[in-house]
């Protein structure tokens, strides 16, 4: 499995029934009393395997990315599995994404005939994979953070044989807490700001003092908690109203203002300074593609509230017994370096490994040697555990 192979791509469609009190996804994917899922199975032509690597992100599709394609070119069977919230995380409920991932794993074993399944949690898929594995091994959740029924204890989630946590954050909520702009004073008017906390004002010049960073981080947490308090009040109000309105969407302005983007002395590593994986951080801070920019009330509690999410990797890793491989990219321009280490430190499995890919960015764009290196590293780790496939 060391030579590069020609690839074949096959569409995978899954369909399962699910009752919902209201439609939360646009189009046919998650209404009409059923969930429809689409994935892409990528395999090297004429190469068999009894192991399937599944890549899933709560809201993105991954088949165009270099990581899964490189794994397949080197002989792995790979499924890029899209959730019901593909390309739109506005209403994403992480607990429901676990049901989607569970459906893919069941299909892989029962229909496609794979003996082993490995979850490769790249980027936002890292915390998702840990969340899934923790609930598959020891299910505890019966409701979403908003109180809606999602009984994972009866879902029959099949545990994966191993999990790879690659260039990943510990949770969506933790990442948002790191990067949300604390200068915003009024959620309905993003131009009302505390200029003493606006790192893009031109008056605050790095390196930032420890006192400023402490104040900044406190203000970020306070802002997240203000939004969360409003969300819970709105859910209660809609419930009390007793009408047909069950959910509401809202906008969170300015959500990309981590001082690490501008100050190399903060959690120093090899990341570029003055830009991030989405481009100019100041532009992205107020642009349309920021994290948590558009959200429903329930999705906020499930994905973005640091005090309410069930998908925090640090907590989930402590409940997993399967082998875990943690891969930190030293020049990651999306994930703060401490995220991977904090999850590794929390993991209690007897079989855990930590690797750092020096100089690697989040996407490995323009870094074919590093992409090949990290793929070989994963191959060796899986092979040592009888999970490389045959």
State mean pLDDT over 379-387: 97
Burial of 274 (0-12, 13-18, 19+ CB in 10 A): exposed
Do 158 and 47 lie in one domain? The reply is yes
The answer as to whether 206 is a domain residue is yes
Looking at residue 382, its pLDDT comes to 98
CB count in 10 Å sphere of residue 84: 25
Instruction: Give the number of other CB atoms < 10 A from CB of residue 239.
Output: 11
Using alpha carbons, select from 369, 342, 345, 343 the residue that is nearest to residue 358.
369
pTM of the model: 0.95
Q: What is the pLDDT of residues 47-59, one digit of tens each?
A: 999 999 999 999 9
Please report the DSSP string for 80-144 in residue order: EEE-TTTT--TT--HHHHHHHHHHHHHHHHHTS--SEEEEEEETHHHHHHHHHHHHHHS----B-
* Residue 1 binned pLDDT confidence (cut-offs 50, 70, 90): very low
Radius of gyration of the chain (CA): 21
- Reported as type and span, the H/E element at residue 374 is helix 368-383
Residue 115 clears pLDDT 90, i.e. is over it: yes
Mean pLDDT value across the chain:
95
Residue 255: C-alpha distances to residues 47, 92, 284, 285 (Å): 45, 18, 8, 5
Q: Note whether 89 and 54 are same-domain residues.
A: yes
The answer as to whether 2 is a domain residue is no
- Domain stops at, among 304, 330, 355: 304
Q: How many domains does the chain divide into?
A: 2
**Residue 201 resides in a domain:** yes
Q: Are 138 and 22 contained in the same domain? A: yes
Any idea what the CATH number is for the domain that residue 162 is in? 3.40.50.1820
Mean pLDDT of 372-388: 97
Instruction: Based on the fold, state whether residues 88 and 163 are members of the same structural domain.
Output: yes
pLDDT digits (tens, 9 = 90+) for 264-273: 999 999 999 9
What six digits make up the tokens of 113? 């005939």
Same-domain pairing of 258 and 345: no
Looking at the structure, tell me whether residues 281 and 299 fall in a common domain: yes
Please identify, among 289, 304, 319, the residue that sits at the C-terminal boundary of a domain: 304
Cis check for the bond before 207: say yes or no (omega within 30 of 0): yes
Residue 203 sits in the same domain as residue 286: yes
Q: What is the structure's pLDDT at 378?
A: 97
Of 304, 323, 345, the residue that ends a domain is 304
Residues 268 and 358 placed together within one structural domain of the fold: no
Residues 61 and 117 grouped into a single domain: yes
Q: Confirm whether 388 is domain-assigned.
A: no
pLDDT value at position 290? 87
Whether residues 282 and 376 fall in one domain: no
Domain that includes residue 243, residue range? 180-304
Is the same domain home to 157 and 30? yes
DSSP state letter for 366: T
345: in domain: yes
Q: Scanning the structure block, which residue is given the tokens 């009330």?
A: 297
Residue 389 lies in a domain: no
Q: Is residue 159 part of a domain?
A: yes
| Band of pLDDT at residue 26, cut at 50, 70 and 90 | low
**293 and 365: one domain?**
no
* Residue 282 within any structural domain of the chain: yes
């Amino acid at each position: 499995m060391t030579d590069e192979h020609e690839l074949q791509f096959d569409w995978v469609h899954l369909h399962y029934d699910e009752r919902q009190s209201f439609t939360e996804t646009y189009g046919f994917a998650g209404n009409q009393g059923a969930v429809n899922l689409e994935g892409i199975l990528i395999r090297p032509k004429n190469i068999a395997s009894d192991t399937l690597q599944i890549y899933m992100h709560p809201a993105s599709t991954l088949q165009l990315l270099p990581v899964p394609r490189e794994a397949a070119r080197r002989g792995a069977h790979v499924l890029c599995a899209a959730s019901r919230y593909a390309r739109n995380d506005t209403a994403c409920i992480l607990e429901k994404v676990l049901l989607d991932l569970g459906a893919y794993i069941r299909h892989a074993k029962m229909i496609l005939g794979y003996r082993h399944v490995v979850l490769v949690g790249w980027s936002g898929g890292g915390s998702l994979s840990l969340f899934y594995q923790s609930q598959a091994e020891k299910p505890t959740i019966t409701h979403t953070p908003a109180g809606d029924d999602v009984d994972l204890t009866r879902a029959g989630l099949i545990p994966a044989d191993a999990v790879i946590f690659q260039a990943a954050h510990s949770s969506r909520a933790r990442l948002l807490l790191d990067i949300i702009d604390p200068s915003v004073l009024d959620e309905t008017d993003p131009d009302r700001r505390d200029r003493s906390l606006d790192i893009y004002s031109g008056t605050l010049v790095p390196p930032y003092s420890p006192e400023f960073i402490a104040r900044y981080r406190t203000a970020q947490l306070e802002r997240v908690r203000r939004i969360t308090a409003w969300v819970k009040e709105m859910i209660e109000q809609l419930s009390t109203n007793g009408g047909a309105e069950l959910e509401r969407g809202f906008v969170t302005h300015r959500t990309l203002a981590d001082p690490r983007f501008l100050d190399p002395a903060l959690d120093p590593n090899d990341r570029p300074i003055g830009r991030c994986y989405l481009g100019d951080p100041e532009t992205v801070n107020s642009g349309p593609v920021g994290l948590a920019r558009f959200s429903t009330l329930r999705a906020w509690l499930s994905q973005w509230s640091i005090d309410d999410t069930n998908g925090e990797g640090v907590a989930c890793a402590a409940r997993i017994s399967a082998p875990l491989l943690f891969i930190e990219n030293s020049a990651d321009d999306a994930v703060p370096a401490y995220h991977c280490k904090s999850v590794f430190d929390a993991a209690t499995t007897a079989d855990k490994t930590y690797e750092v890919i020096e100089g690697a960015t989040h996407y490995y764009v323009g870094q074919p040697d590093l992409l090949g290196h990290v793929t070989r590293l994963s191959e060796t780790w899986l092979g040592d555990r009888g999970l490389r496939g045959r």
